[in-house]
Structure 1
């Protein structure tokens, strides 16, 4: 459904009426580092890649989080991957004659030091969640 941009922006603002719906769907991802962490963790579960068209659903299902490209001043999800640090961290590939776009992990050796720290934290978080007896 098409909505005026002001309506959408009001729903994203903290004093807008979108607060009740946001908490029901989970915490919204609003920072690039947070999004990078979530993507790293997802790709540890899906090493062959994540279909871009299913990424929001997967984030909601696997992490009980909500991703809105509008929170990053983008109108399309693919535009997020043109921004730092996603553009140097993840690779977008096409399959099925260009009909499906997949998000895949880039080369960790080329990550910036900041992104390497996020990557290490994601690996550590997944290692802890994989060992339910040891998770605190």
Structure 2
């Protein structure tokens, strides 16, 4: 599990941490420890990378929203796709370029309906459809 230095609520990691002793961590690039990092980044904390990413998605991620076929087709044909999947539920793809912090744009298509939302790039296609189903149930 990777440890990172970051300021809660911000969308970027300050630096990854390396353990230099029992309960002692320093920034990989600068070898600064938390009190020194807090001078330059007030409010900085040491935490797990997974926790940081989950908090980032909770703060800046979006719910699936309906879009037009034109917008879906434009994104698929004009942007660099990180991952694409076609399955029984429908098609979905994840764009490569982050929009907010580490969050990327996700697109999905099924039965003439189209959606988009912001999520972590590690989202699976199964999770994409789960979020769309949950959003659909909430909208009904």
The normalised TM-score by structure 2 is: 0.27
Structure with greater proportional strand content: 2
Which structure dedicates a bigger proportion of its chain to helix?
Answer: 1
TM-score (norm 1): 0.27
Tell me which of the two structures has the higher relative contact order, counting C-alpha pairs closer than 8 angstroms and 6 or more residues apart. Answer: 1
